[in-house]
């Protein structure tokens, strides 16, 4: 059986188990997100232990979780805080990169993500200024107006 088929079967099995748990326990969570997250967390530990080598598959699943978390945050957070979508996605992507063991040449990306956070925090802090507010509104509308 191929690794990807095994992973798909694991996600499907977790989906069914967690759907049952959600029904019984009356907990509120995304069954699909939890299934994917548990899968990549398990594979990541196995990767760290040298028992699973397909880092691309782990990275794809982790990327799915980044976007899933992003979607949840956008859905739950007040609109004025949605200005931080780009810094969040870049930071989470960099975190995934680091979790996968990449340590070389990260000072540039760390600096870039830090600078993006600073710029967006400044736009947020000075949103009472008309020009800055318009910039912030365009940033927030980036994913809404297409």
- Does the structure show a pLDDT above 90 at 102? no
What is the pLDDT averaged over residues 108-112?
A: 96
Residue 94 contacts residue 113 (beta carbons within 8 Å): yes
What is the per-residue pLDDT across 8-36, written as a single tens digit (0 to 9) for each?
Answer: 999 999 999 999 999 999 899 999 999 99
The predicted pLDDT at position 1 comes to: 72
- Does the structure show a pLDDT above 80 at 108? yes
The predicted pLDDT at position 66 comes to: 96
Please tell me the pTM assigned to this model: 0.85
What is the pLDDT averaged over residues 132-136?
A: 93
């Amino acid at each position: 059986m191929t690794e990807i088929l095994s992973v798909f079967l694991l996600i499907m099995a977790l989906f069914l188990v967690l759907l049952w748990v959600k029904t019984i326990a009356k907990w509120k969570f995304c069954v699909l997100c939890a299934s994917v997250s548990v899968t990549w967390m398990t594979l990541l530990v196995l990767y760290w232990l040298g028992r699973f080598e397909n880092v691309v598959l782990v990275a794809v699943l982790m990327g799915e979780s980044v976007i899933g978390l992003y979607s949840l945050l956008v859905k739950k957070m007040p609109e004025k805080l949605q200005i931080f979508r780009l810094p969040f996605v870049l930071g989470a992507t960099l975190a995934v990169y680091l979790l996968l063991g990449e340590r070389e040449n990260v000072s540039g990306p760390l600096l870039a993500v830090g600078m993006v956070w600073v710029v967006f925090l400044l736009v947020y802090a000075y949103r009472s200024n008309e020009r800055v507010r318009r910039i912030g509104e365009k940033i927030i509308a980036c994913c809404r107006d297409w």
